[in-house]
Structure 1
């Protein structure tokens, strides 16, 4: 008889918000509760599909700020599985290791939380059904700079072996190195399925011998976790072949929307085109809510006005989204530029643009001045918001370059606009 389970990871229950909390209280509340609502959907899916088990590959919590209210919520939801006779297998990830209540929470007996020593749990199955063994390993500390594979037991003979691991694999942008390993290394273990966690973007490597799945985060928390979010519904057939189905679980989906207004001849057309693009995107998203970051781009004589009146454009889009009931505008950014004048002799503004681009923007003196201003602003922010300026030196320097480019475009666009006023 088949064996079915749901595989998820990186729930990050009650993850604290950062930039959203500064902009829109209603949107902040929606996203603040989204991780819980998404987890309820995961439990609902387990019950609807009548799976044998739920597998969580780390980072149920988000870190040391986790409260007992979060823990009680988790216990209640896992209790729903217990009542239905569905088991749960959980490993602790790097964020769970920071949580002070991780080791204190009392869970139903059908929930197996793996400890710091690797274990293989044999699943009790009826006679004639193929045996199943689930392997797992948790870490008590948030750092795991070396591979964990050598700690796992050998596959149980004649069983379908399922491994659970929290790992960065070969590394991923935006994620710390954690228990690194490679796909070939995982294949060599002889495990039929590897249930991974840690990287928030979904990936799957499948062949006749194994399935290695990183399900990604089931609910995005900010614009950097945009796109469809899901879990994996896994069926191991009687012939031991594996079928992996992706099931969407997000309550709200973050998306980046680029609106090219090069063809717009007036302000009314700019608004109309932006609204139309938002509507098109909304029709393509299947979640309850769409949270969009809108970028206005293109070469247009209206560049100066768009930059000047960005607050009015945002209000128009927010009002339009509110009327639909499920569209939220996370932010509106602009990158339009005024078209260069097609004349034989460059204008004074064209010459200024050339000087800014060739002599000022890339000069060491200018970059140092921008760096000093950015460092002063960052120092005035509370610690939890300082990542706005980048999480490391490379991202900080890249952001300074963006500031310089956007600043120059903004000044030039407004100067061109003032010529016609």
Structure 2
């Protein structure tokens, strides 16, 4: 008889909002509760599919979480699985290594929380069914700079061995190095399935001997975790072949929307164009809610006004989104440039000031040093996993700062220009 389980990771229950763009209180509430609702959907899937087990491969919480509300919520969801006879296997990752909930919350006997010493749990199955062994190991501390693979027990002979590990594998651009190991090492371990966690982007690697799955996360928390989110429904057939199915779980889906507004003749036409694109995007998203970051580009006579009145544009687009239904705006940005400005702007004090800023100030040594100093100070205040927003490496940092400086100077000029040319 087949063995079936749902595999997920990086739920980050009750994670603090990570984006400064969530100014809308209703949107803040929606995203603030989304991780819980996504986890409820995971449990619903387990019950609907009548799986044998739920595997949680780390970062169930988001740090030293001590909220009793979180504890009560988790206890209720685990109770639902327990009453249905579904087992739960949990390892702690880097974010929840220090959480007191997992260690202090009294769990039913159908829940196995692996400790800092690797264990293998043999699954009781009826006679004639292939044996299953589930291996797990939790982070003892919030950092694990060395591979943990060598700490796992050898595969149980004649059984289907399933390993649960929280790992950065060979590294990922947006994730620090945790318990690094290679796909090749996992493939040679003798385990039939590796249930991984830590990297928030889904990936599946299969060969004849093993299946290695990084399920991603069930719910994104900001625009840097955009796109559809899901859990993995896994079926191990009687012949020990493995079938992995992706099942959507996210309540709200973050998406980036690029809109070329070069053809928009006036403000109303521009808002209408963006609204139509939002409605089209919403129709392609499986999640209940769409949270969009709108980026406008192209040459437009409205370029200066867009920079000056971006807050007003956001209000107009948010209103259109409410008409569509369940469409929210994370942020509106513009990189639009103005066509040749004409004689009224080709000369004069403002034109001269623009030339000074763009040709002299932005590239002066003093300005560059001050910009880098501000960036270093801000980066030092960010959590480790968010520091990539300033770019990867020295060249990436320079490009990011140059982009910020260019956008800032254009906004200043737009404000100074006022109503000219509208």
C-alpha distance in structure 1 between counterparts of 2:121 and 2:260, whole Å: 55
Deviations 1:81-112 (A, max 9, x none): 11001101110111111213331111110001
Q: Which residue of 2 aligns with 1:406?
A: 407
Q: How far does residue 372 in structure 1 lie from its aligned partner after superposition?
A: 5.2
Q: Which residue of 1 aligns with 2:261?
A: 261
Q: So what's the TM-score if we normalise by structure 1?
A: 0.91
C-alpha distance in structure 2 between counterparts of 1:20 and 1:29, whole Å: 14
1:274 matches 2:285? no
Q: Which residue of 1 aligns with 2:67?
A: 67
Q: How far does residue 355 in structure 1 lie from its aligned partner after superposition?
A: 5.9
Q: Which residue of 2 aligns with 1:147?
A: 147
Q: How far does residue 415 in structure 1 lie from its aligned partner after superposition?
A: 6.5
Q: Which residue of 2 aligns with 1:323?
A: 323
C-alpha distance in structure 2 between counterparts of 1:277 and 1:293, whole Å: 12
Q: So what's the TM-score if we normalise by structure 2?
A: 0.91
C-alpha distance in structure 2 between counterparts of 1:66 and 1:331, whole Å: 32
1:92 matches 2:80? no
SS in 2 for 1:400: helix
Unaligned runs of 5+ in 2: none
Structure 1 pair 210–385 and aligned structure 2 pair: CA distance change class (3 A): closer
SS in 2 for 1:102: helix
Q: How far does residue 400 in structure 1 lie from its aligned partner after superposition?
A: 2.9
Deviations 1:4-60 (A, max 9, x none): 000000010000114358611111111111101100000000000000000000010
Q: How far does residue 407 in structure 1 lie from its aligned partner after superposition?
A: 1.7
Q: How far does residue 324 in structure 1 lie from its aligned partner after superposition?
A: 2.7
C-alpha distance in structure 1 between counterparts of 2:278 and 2:392, whole Å: 35
C-alpha distance in structure 1 between counterparts of 2:267 and 2:391, whole Å: 39
C-alpha distance in structure 2 between counterparts of 1:234 and 1:369, whole Å: 53
C-alpha distance in structure 1 between counterparts of 2:388 and 2:419, whole Å: 32
C-alpha distance in structure 1 between counterparts of 2:9 and 2:388, whole Å: 28
Q: Which residue of 2 aligns with 1:58?
A: 58
SS in 2 for 1:178: coil
SS in 1 for 2:314: helix
Q: Which residue of 2 aligns with 1:287?
A: 287
C-alpha distance in structure 2 between counterparts of 1:133 and 1:203, whole Å: 23
- Once the two structures are superposed, the pairs formed by residues 173-188 of structure 1 within 5 Å of their partners are 173-188=173-188
1:15 matches 2:23? no
C-alpha distance in structure 2 between counterparts of 1:187 and 1:132, whole Å: 18
C-alpha distance in structure 1 between counterparts of 2:149 and 2:87, whole Å: 24
Q: Which residue of 1 aligns with 2:248?
A: 248
What value does the CA root-mean-square deviation take over the aligned residues?
Answer: 2.8
Structure 1 pair 26–389 and aligned structure 2 pair: CA distance change class (3 A): farther
Alignment check: 8 A CA contact 1:337 1:409 kept: no
C-alpha distance in structure 1 between counterparts of 2:268 and 2:387, whole Å: 33
C-alpha distance in structure 2 between counterparts of 1:288 and 1:114, whole Å: 34
Q: Which residue of 2 aligns with 1:334?
A: 334
SS in 2 for 1:205: strand
Alignment check: 8 A CA contact 1:21 1:28 kept: no
Structure 1 pair 385–419 and aligned structure 2 pair: CA distance change class (3 A): farther
Of the structure 1 ranges 96-105 and 142-151, higher mean CA displacement relative to structure 2 is found in 96-105
Q: How far does residue 413 in structure 1 lie from its aligned partner after superposition?
A: 5.1
C-alpha distance in structure 1 between counterparts of 2:365 and 2:6, whole Å: 53
- Once the two structures are superposed, the pairs formed by residues 158-169 of structure 1 within 5 Å of their partners are 158-169=158-169
Q: How far does residue 338 in structure 1 lie from its aligned partner after superposition?
A: 0.8
Structure 1 pair 189–350 and aligned structure 2 pair: CA distance change class (3 A): farther
Count of aligned pairs: 417
Alignment check: 8 A CA contact 1:133 1:162 kept: yes
SS in 1 for 2:209: coil
C-alpha distance in structure 2 between counterparts of 1:63 and 1:278, whole Å: 35
Alignment check: 8 A CA contact 1:389 1:396 kept: no
C-alpha distance in structure 1 between counterparts of 2:376 and 2:293, whole Å: 26
